[in-house]
Amino acid sequence: MAIERVGIVGAGQMGNGIAHVFAVAGYDVLLTDISADALAAALAQIDRNLERQVSRELITAETKAQAMRRIASTQTLTDLGDSDLIIEAATERETIKAAIFEDLLPHLKPETILTSNTSSISITRLASRTDRPERFMGFHFMNPVPIMQLVELIRGIATDEPTFRACQQVVERLGKTSTASEDFPGFIVNRILMPMINEAIYTLYEGVGSVQSIDTSLKLGANHPMGPLELADFIGLDTCLAIMNVLHDGLADTKYRPCPLLTKYVEAGWLGRKTQRGFYDYRGETPVPTR
């Protein structure tokens, strides 16, 4: 099946980034969210990000104009029914994702492919609650979507080969690289990345090093572009905690136990950049470590 019309559920940081790259690649995009403000903010963010690409001569002004014309928005989820491919990029809570798919099902074409941008939730379990588990898979973009080159493709136990190949071809058209992951907690990237971040938080919790010394050590000692605590703030500490809980619950291994300090920061509402405080305080001109 030719994929030309793409529906995206969720206009947050991931959703607007996904809409951006699909529109630039020539797909017609319909972006939905329950919040009109979120949709307006997403379209404004896409416009700014495209303009930044124009200023860096990565795309032309005409490409930007065409991309913006390809993106439409709606607050009505069922308007996505005519899409060839749907990418769910809503909040990382399984109950919310399952409810979205349940509401969509009666309005879909038989051939529509359903996917989720989940970073850790079981694709097999999400697929089992739909009428098309063979046409359902994980489509996991990295943040920020316009910059990061990887897309993890995750097959559920029932995902058929034509669906996998179709999604693989979509990733190629986006100009990105796909990796295939089996459907186990955390998939590939977060199975490796999140325990590293969690261990960095334990290193802080146990007083081995300060925020600054831990991040400097990994940036200069392991050539990482961002320190693990800085990266955690960028991802969102609530998201980090949610993924660690999925790993801990799904793999039943104590090495995935979330650090109590991570839990404490989330309880305080210090979630990183999006709340202006996490392992760094972002309320001033330059970020200041909070420990």
CATH for 29: 3.40.50.720
Task: Give dist(CA 91, CA 14) in Å, integer.
Answer: 10
Binding residue per annotation — 183? no
Contact call for residues 31 and 23 (beta carbons, < 8 A)? no
Q: Are residues 108 and 216 in the same domain?
A: no
Q: What is the model's pLDDT at position 91?
A: 86
Residue 280's CATH number: 1.10.1040.10
Active site residue 152: yes
Q: Are residues 65 and 147 in the same domain?
A: yes
Active site residue 224: no
Domain boundary among 182, 200, 233: 182
Active site residue 190: yes
Q: Are residues 130 and 214 in the same domain?
A: no
Q: Which of 73, 83, 152, 198 is catalytic?
A: 152
Q: What is the model's pLDDT at position 92?
A: 83
Domain containing residue 143: 5-182
Q: Are residues 178 and 269 in the same domain?
A: no
Stated pTM of the model: 0.90
Mean pLDDT, 10 residues at a time, the chain of 291 residues: 93 95 98 96 97 96 97 96 96 91 96 94 95 97 94 97 97 97 94 97 98 98 97 94 93 96 98 96 96 92
Q: What is the model's pLDDT at position 120?
A: 82
Q: What is the model's pLDDT at position 60?
A: 96
- Give the DSSP per-residue string, 56-71: TTSS-HHHHHHHHHHE
Q: Are residues 19 and 115 in the same domain?
A: yes
Domain boundary among 182, 206, 228: 182
Q: What is the model's pLDDT at position 86?
A: 98
Task: Give dist(CA 74, CA 35) in Å, integer.
Answer: 9
Q: Are residues 265 and 221 in the same domain?
A: yes
Distance of CA 169 to the CA centre of its chain: 20
Q: What is the model's pLDDT at position 222?
A: 97
Q: How many domains does the chain have?
A: 2
Binding residue per annotation — 97? yes
